[in-house]
């Protein structure tokens, strides 16, 4: 189906291009002949003025003649301008047609004035001028038929009207005669136009035929050349292969040596890192298992040091992979020079290294080695004129205390390394069981979450949404926070996923609606909207709509004071259920916002099938928009789309004045971000609104877009 649509689209595009070329060919002689036609009209107008100078039509004729001259000159100037630039054909054709029609109407006016004269001779002379202009314009206007019709039809209608009104015994005959004349002129013009158009089409067809023939000749020549080259290449390969076979027969022992060398190289590559030459993970696991066996026969221990370079990604991204690779090689060299010969240094991948310390008497030896490594790596690296400073986070596991297999020791050392990096980096950390007890901590947090609602530990904060044109606060996004009496403030990124996993999101979601509705009641005299984020689970629960309806009735607020935000992922999970849910919410009078727009895979037809009132542009499309032309183009398209669909647009994450200026230039409507305010407590909202005209916001809004 897609292929057929593409084929149809290609054919339609080719058809439009062909018609445009024909129109260009028709328009050029039309514009070129405008100079002669315009001069003819001017001379004819002056002749009409001379003939009718002393008649009772003197005043109106002088006015009409002046207008004919002015319009003819305008038409000449327009045509010359097109011939000079040859751009915007359609606009110039429309302008030419309009001016031609106006000239025709002015000539029709002169013909119409003959109603008021009794002088048959003057009337006949004027009509002869009209007839002559109508006939002569076939040569100048018929290359584009609409131009000719716009010129002759007003005159024809005026002449027929005059014939029908003027008292004359030959009225009918004159009307019929002129009608036949007009028909002959139109047919002649049509035939002229048709012949000219056929000539253009024939010319274009011949040009296309010649191009196709040239293309086919080029293809044939190319194929012939490729065949010749293939033949020569095949002959050369046969010759080379024959020579190789002879050489192999003569130097069989040499070939066997090469094969053995290649096998050794493959064996080396299979167990060593290609960049640094250090053992890779395959060889590392084997070395650790061998070391475990050796250590088991003595009273010594085995230490695994899992090392990750600090800030390496920043260096790699900013200075390039070439410098990053050279830095990894230098790190490998320093590690080898720092350690004993019997110790193993391995590259685990990326910027991770593993050191295996054998025959370690106690953990103090591992500490000394870890400190030596950190000191060695904190010394600056000079690479390609760049002085680079890095650090290292090291996790240490000890055999047999922290594991009895290679994989367990590596995993525990890796866990310890992440703890070292999380606490600031450039330090070492021994593994302990508490690191593996993070799951237990998560379960404890989940237990606290079950009692959080009962203990009134949740509270709401509100982040302002501001008009980009006036700086007036139009709404707030309502955000949940958790102040646990045991753990203190807990990030929404930690507890919101737990709410969904445990099913507590339904009860907490109802609480949020009740809390926001109660708070919104304080601002019923203002046109302020309070936005509430919805979980995917809530959108499958139709009872939620009933709860919203009851809270609106209970608090007495306007339904329009509440807005519900959904994410793009909801649209593809269960579209029909989501549509029914949103339709019911919207029917209450609440507005619907599509949050994080631009980060998902929303099909555009979903937007037209859902009751969405607002599009919230994700902060990833706002960050650096003032310097990124691609982001500007994407955001401009979103703004135009939202305007055409009658939707409001909100820009999230605005943090700089430059971003604000660019968003205003792109006609962004509402802005939200740290540039204006972080989320504020409920008690601070009144202060924010009351100080709206005295804080720094007007200064920001005095910035005009470029």
pLDDT, tens digit, for every residue of 606-632? 777 889 999 888 888 888 888 888 888
Q: Tell me, what's the pLDDT at 221?
A: 84
Q: 65 is written with which tokens?
A: 């003649």
Question: How far is it, in rounded angstroms, from Cα 325 to Cα 374?
Answer: 20
Question: How far is it, in rounded angstroms, from Cα 30 to Cα 96?
Answer: 9
Peptide bond into 400 cis (omega under 30): yes
Inter-residue contact 279 to 273 (CB < 8 Å): yes
Question: How far is it, in rounded angstroms, from Cα 627 to Cα 647?
Answer: 26
The contacts of residue 132 (CB under 8 Å, 6+ apart) are 44
**Burial class (CB within 10 angstroms; exposed 0-12, middle 13-18, buried 19+) of 222:** exposed
- What count of other Cβ atoms lies within 10 Å of the Cβ of residue 139? 14
Question: How far is it, in rounded angstroms, from Cα 680 to Cα 120?
Answer: 91
The contacts of residue 548 (CB under 8 Å, 6+ apart) are 513, 562, 585, 588, 590
Q: Cα–chain-centroid distance for residue 310?
A: 34
439 three-class SS? helix
Q: Sign of dihedral through CA atoms 346, 349, 353, 356? A: negative
Report the phi/psi class of residue 277: left, alpha or beta, with left for phi > 0 and alpha for psi in -120 to 50. Answer: left
Cα–Cα distances (Å) from 675 to 629, 659, 660, 661, 702, in that order, read 22, 10, 9, 12, 14
On the question of pLDDT at 459 being above 80, the answer is yes
How much of the chain, in percent, has pLDDT values that exceed 70?
Answer: 91
Q: Tell me, what's the pLDDT at 87?
A: 84
Segment 636-646, tens digit of pLDDT: 888 898 888 88
Q: 327 is written with which tokens?
A: 């830095």
Q: Tell me, what's the pLDDT at 698?
A: 43
Q: How far apart are the first and last CA of the chain?
A: 46
- CA 78-84-86 angle, to 5 degrees, is 85
Output the DSSP codes for 625-685: TTT-HHHHHHHHHHHHHHHHTT-EEEE----SHHHHHHHHHTT--EE-STTT---EEHHHH
The contacts of residue 112 (CB under 8 Å, 6+ apart) are 158, 161, 162
Strand pairing category for 529-533 and 473-484: parallel
Beta bridge partners of 279: 272
Q: Tell me, what's the pLDDT at 476?
A: 96
Q: 184 is written with which tokens?
A: 């002959």
Beta bridge partners of 531: 477, 563
Q: What is the DSSP letter of 275?
A: T
The contacts of residue 547 (CB under 8 Å, 6+ apart) are 510, 513
On the question of pLDDT at 21 being above 60, the answer is yes
Question: How far is it, in rounded angstroms, from Cα 115 to Cα 171?
Answer: 13
Weakest-pLDDT range from 295-304, 487-496, 680-689: 295-304
Phi and psi of 218, rounded to 5°?
-65, -40
The count of C-alpha atoms lying within 13 angstroms of the C-alpha of 657, restricted to the half-sphere facing its C-beta, is 10
Inter-residue contact 425 to 431 (CB < 8 Å): no
Alpha helices of 379-454 — where are they, by DSSP H?
A: 406-422, 438-452
Q: Tell me, what's the pLDDT at 439?
A: 44
Q: Tell me, what's the pLDDT at 597?
A: 81
In the block, which residue shows the tokens 């993970």? 281
Residue-wise burial string across 417-435, b where 16 or more C-beta atoms lie within 10 A, e elsewhere:
bebbbeeebbbbbbbeeeb
- Mean pLDDT in residue range 407-425: 88
- Mean pLDDT in residue range 211-215: 82
Q: Tell me, what's the pLDDT at 532?
A: 94
pLDDT level of residue 697 (50, 70, 90 thresholds) = very low
Peptide bond into 664 cis (omega under 30): no
Beta bridge partners of 1: none
> Of residues 331 and 502, which shows the higher confidence score?
331
Question: How far is it, in rounded angstroms, from Cα 424 to Cα 580?
Answer: 49
On the question of pLDDT at 601 being above 60, the answer is no
Inter-residue contact 347 to 277 (CB < 8 Å): no
Segment 254-294, tens digit of pLDDT: 666 777 776 777 777 878 888 999 998 888 888 888 888 88
Question: How far is it, in rounded angstroms, from Cα 590 to Cα 584?
Answer: 9
Question: How far is it, in rounded angstroms, from Cα 502 to Cα 618?
Answer: 28
Output the DSSP codes for 348-398: EETTEEEEEEEEE-SHHHHHHHHHHHHHHHHSPEEETTEEE--EEEEEEEE
Question: Shortest CA distance to 564 belongs to which of 588, 594, 540, 587?
Answer: 594
- Mean pLDDT in residue range 190-202: 80
- CA 85-91-93 angle, to 5 degrees, is 85
Question: Shortest CA distance to 144 belongs to which of 53, 223, 70, 34?
Answer: 34
Phi and psi of 586, rounded to 5°?
-65, -35
On the question of pLDDT at 519 being above 90, the answer is yes
Q: Tell me, what's the pLDDT at 337?
A: 92
Q: 137 is written with which tokens?
A: 């314009």
Weakest-pLDDT range from 47-61, 233-247, 584-598: 47-61
What's the mean pLDDT when you consider all of the chain? 84
Q: 389 is written with which tokens?
A: 């400073």
Segment 523-577, tens digit of pLDDT: 999 999 999 999 888 888 889 999 999 999 999 999 999 999 988 766 655 678 8
- Mean pLDDT in residue range 89-116: 87
On the question of pLDDT at 512 being above 80, the answer is yes
Q: Tell me, what's the pLDDT at 529?
A: 95
Helix (H) / strand (E) element for 488: namely strand 488-490
Segment 293-302, tens digit of pLDDT: 888 777 788 9
Helix (H) / strand (E) element for 459: namely strand 458-467
Q: 278 is written with which tokens?
A: 């250090």
Q: Tell me, what's the pLDDT at 29?
A: 84
């Amino acid at each position: 189906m897609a292929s057929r649509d593409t084929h149809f689209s290609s054919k339609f595009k080719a058809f439009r291009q062909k018609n445009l070329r024909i129109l260009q060919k028709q328009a050029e002689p039309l514009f070129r002949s405008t100079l002669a036609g315009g001069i003819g009209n001017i001379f004819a107008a002056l002749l009409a003025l001379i003939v009718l100078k002393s008649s009772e039509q003197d005043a109106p004729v002088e006015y009409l003649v002046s207008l004919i001259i002015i319009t003819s000159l305008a038409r000449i100037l327009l045509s010359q301008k097109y011939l000079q630039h040859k751009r915007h054909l359609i606009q110039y054709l429309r302008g030419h047609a309009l001016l031609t029609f106006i000239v025709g109407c002015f000539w029709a006016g002169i013909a119409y004035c003959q109603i008021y004269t009794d002088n048959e001779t003057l009337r006949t002379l004027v009509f002869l001028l009209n007839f002559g202009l109508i006939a002569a314009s076939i040569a100048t206007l018929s290359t584009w038929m609409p131009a000719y019709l716009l010129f002759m039809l007003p005159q024809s209608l005026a002449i027929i009207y005059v014939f029908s009104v003027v008292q004359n015994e030959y009225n009918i005959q004159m009307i019929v005669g002129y009608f036949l004349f007009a028909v002959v002129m139109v047919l002649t013009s049509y035939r002229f136009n048709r012949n000219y158009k056929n000539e253009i089409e024939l010319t274009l067809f011949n040009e296309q035929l010649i191009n196709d023939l040239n293309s086919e000749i080029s293809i044939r020549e190319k194929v012939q050349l490729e065949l010749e080259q293939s033949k020569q290449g095949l002959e050369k390969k046969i010759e080379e292969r024959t020579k190789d076979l002879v050489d192999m027969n003569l130097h069989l022992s040499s070939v066997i040596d090469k094969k053995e060398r290649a096998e050794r190289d493959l064996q080396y590559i299979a167990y060593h890192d290609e960049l640094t030459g250090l053992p890779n993970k395959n060889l590392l696991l084997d070395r650790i298992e061998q070391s475990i066996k050796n250590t088991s026969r003595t009273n010594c221990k085995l230490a695994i040091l899992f090392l990750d370079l600090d800030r390496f990604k920043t260096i790699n991204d900013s200075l390039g992979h070439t410098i990053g690779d050279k830095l990894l090689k230098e790190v490998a060299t320093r590690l080898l020079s720092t350690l004993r010969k019997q110790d193993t240094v391995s590259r685990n991948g990326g910027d991770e290294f593993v050191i295996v310390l054998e025959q370690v008497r106690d953990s103090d030896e591992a500490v000394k080695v870890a400190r030596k490594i950190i000191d060695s790596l904190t010394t600056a690296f000079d690479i390609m004129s760049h002085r680079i400073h890095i650090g290292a986070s090291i996790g240490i596991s000890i055999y047999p205390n922290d594991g009895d297999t290679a994989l367990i020791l590596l995993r525990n050392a890796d866990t310890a390394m992440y703890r070292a990096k999380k606490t600031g980096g450039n330090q070492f950390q021994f593994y302990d069981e508490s690191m593996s007890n993070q799951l237990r901590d998560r379960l404890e947090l989940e237990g606290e979450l079950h009692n959080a609602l009962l203990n009134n530990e949740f509270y709401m904060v509100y982040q302002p949404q501001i008009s980009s044109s006036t700086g007036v606060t139009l709404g707030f996004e309502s955000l949940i926070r958790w102040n646990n009496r045991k753990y203190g403030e807990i990030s929404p990124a930690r507890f919101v996923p737990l709410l969904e996993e445990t099913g507590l999101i339904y009860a907490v979601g109802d609480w949020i609606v009740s809390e926001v509705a109660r708070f919104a009641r304080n601002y019923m005299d203002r046109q302020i909207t309070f936005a509430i984020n919805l979980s995917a689970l809530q959108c499958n629960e139709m009872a939620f709509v009933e709860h919203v309806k009851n809270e609106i009735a209970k608090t007495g607020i306007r339904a329009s004071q509440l807005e519900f935000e959904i994410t793009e992922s909801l649209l593809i999970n269960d579209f029909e259920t989501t549509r029914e849910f949103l339709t019911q919410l919207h029917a209450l009078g609440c507005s619907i916002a599509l949050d994080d727009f631009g980060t998902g895979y929303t099909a555009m037809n979903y937007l037209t099938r859902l009751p969405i009132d607002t599009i919230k542009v994700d902060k990833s499309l706002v960050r650096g928009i003032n310097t990124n032309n691609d982001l500007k183009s994407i955001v401009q398209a979103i703004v135009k789309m939202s305007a055409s669909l009658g939707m409001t647009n909100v820009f999230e994450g605005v943090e700089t004045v430059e971003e604000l200026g660019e968003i205003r230039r792109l006609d962004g409507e509402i802005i939200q971000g740290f540039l204006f305010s972080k989320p504020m407590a409920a008690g601070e909202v009144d202060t924010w609104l009351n100080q709206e005209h005295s804080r720094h916001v007007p200064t920001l809004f005095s910035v005009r877009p470029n």
